[in-house]
Structure 1
């Protein structure tokens, strides 16, 4: 294994978390020539980074010891706290004099709290959640929504450039995450609606290639439809953005909305569908697997009609 200590004089940036999104993001940095040291809980995920010229650390502590700015792209808030040792004696030593760049999706309250803890330990913090799934991540076409003080944001911008088509400063810590939630509200409801449209077309006997052509030729055509309609038509749920993550995102959005006294009727219906797809075993498949939840509802309705009882079969509890 290559360790950062093998190149003690090289200035480094760090990347922690090489999952579905993190690995292609880090690969774009490495391929752009960014001096990079990486770590992942599952070591095999770091091998493509090693091949691209990044150094592979044996621990998170090794990453922070070598890099003056570290991008963190982890599954959720609990994993982030665990990996960084937040709340424990090692956290302050880890982040002191470092810039921590959090690119994962969290609640605004969590982002503000982490920012405060990093600052209290003598570090600096920028949140940089990204909009886009695996394919945009591979192509370096993500959109980053930054929250933090202007000076630190200005320092971080060049680091994010190889991964992102756009980098937008949204305000202080918490603002970037709120912007991501607003964007994800649109995304999650759109994918659910698109899945329902494909389901309608298919069950009505329409040719789905013709459906795709009509959609993409009109005002509704987009990068989303061009990627997702063929996946939906083929029941190809190869993960771009996982269903469980989409469901978790809907819950984060709902929490933020309730805290502000906002109604989210479309989001709530979509969240139910993503939850149903997760319960069908699709949590780590692509979020377009929401189609299976819609199909299950159709099949349940057909069964209700067939049994002559006039009652729909019981469904698992919905909502939050």
Structure 2
């Protein structure tokens, strides 16, 4: 088995993450269930595997950046004879966002097959991923975590060790709770300003010049002002993440009223057909609620 690193999952986040690894000189083998970015990765020096089995046969370490738990199960062949073949004597690095309970069960199954496991979820969306400015949270056995921390350096501006699995995913969900409620609040404030006839450029200036401004608020506010809904973090993905946070809160008996309100709004936005748009498209659900409250005719009616 070679020292190549396998990278599985080339979506909105996975592609720039893999590119940063390849451009840094990491010997990379990539595969995705569906990808249009293979040529870009080849040009950066990565090898495109013909199949999952070809990737696993070449790589001692496999990095997963997949959309959901079902995709991870499929790729690892979980609950099939393929699982032991794909994880035995390998290091599986889960950079996807899953529930802590899922990760806790997965690490036990991987260890039972003589494999190793590190969870390494990231904080950041497409733009930070492209710039190699993600924050990576790590959990697992100290020796393996150290290895992964070195590996992910080209992707991130910072990394932190959180302890044992699933501490990194629990940390990621806490970070996501703040992000989701903050961006939802920003969209609600923008809807408020818009409906009061406030010039949105002046509104943006007032916010950006004040103490509440951040890298995220500046980027998301600009998208709201210009009605640019091109995806950085999609509504559907944010809805999934908010569900994971809500479930983790319920299981621990923790109140999450702001997250619950946000979760409902993202669900409404997806129902409106905006699941593939950036999370700031939640303003559509806020606008719809405002129209319903005032008795305005909704679009298409």
For residues 131-152 of structure 1, the C-alpha deviation after alignment (integer angstroms, 9 at most, x for no partner) is: 0000000000000111111111
Q: Distance in 1 between matches of 2:42 and 2:110?
A: 29
Shift of 1:42: 1.3
Shift of 1:79: 1.0
| Structure 2 partner of 1:193 | 185
Q: TM-score, normalised by structure 1?
A: 0.91
| Structure 1 partner of 2:288 | 296
Q: Distance in 2 between matches of 1:235 and 1:296?
A: 16
Shift of 1:10: 5.9
Shift of 1:43: 4.0
| Structure 1 partner of 2:99 | 107
Could you list the structure 1 runs, at least 4 aligned residues long, displaced by more than 3 angstroms after superposition: none
Shift of 1:47: 2.3
- Asked if 1 retains the 8 angstrom alpha-carbon contact of 2:249 and 2:255, the reply is yes
SS of 1:169's equivalent in the other structure is strand
| Structure 1 partner of 2:224 | 232
Q: CA RMSD in A?
A: 1.4
User: How many residue pairs get matched?
Assistant: 298
Bigger Cα Rg: 1
| Structure 2 partner of 1:4 | none
For residues 158-204 of structure 1, the C-alpha deviation after alignment (integer angstroms, 9 at most, x for no partner) is: 11000011111111111000000000000000110000011111111
Q: Which of 24, 27, 34 is the equivalent residue of 1:35?
A: 27
Q: TM-score, normalised by structure 2?
A: 0.96
Q: Which of 208, 224, 229 is the equivalent residue of 1:216?
A: 208
Q: Distance in 1 between matches of 2:148 and 2:222?
A: 37
| Structure 2 partner of 1:262 | 254
SS of 1:11's equivalent in the other structure is strand
- Asked if 2 retains the 8 angstrom alpha-carbon contact of 1:10 and 1:35, the reply is no
- Asked if 1 retains the 8 angstrom alpha-carbon contact of 2:63 and 2:92, the reply is yes
Is 1:143 paired with 2:135? Answer: yes
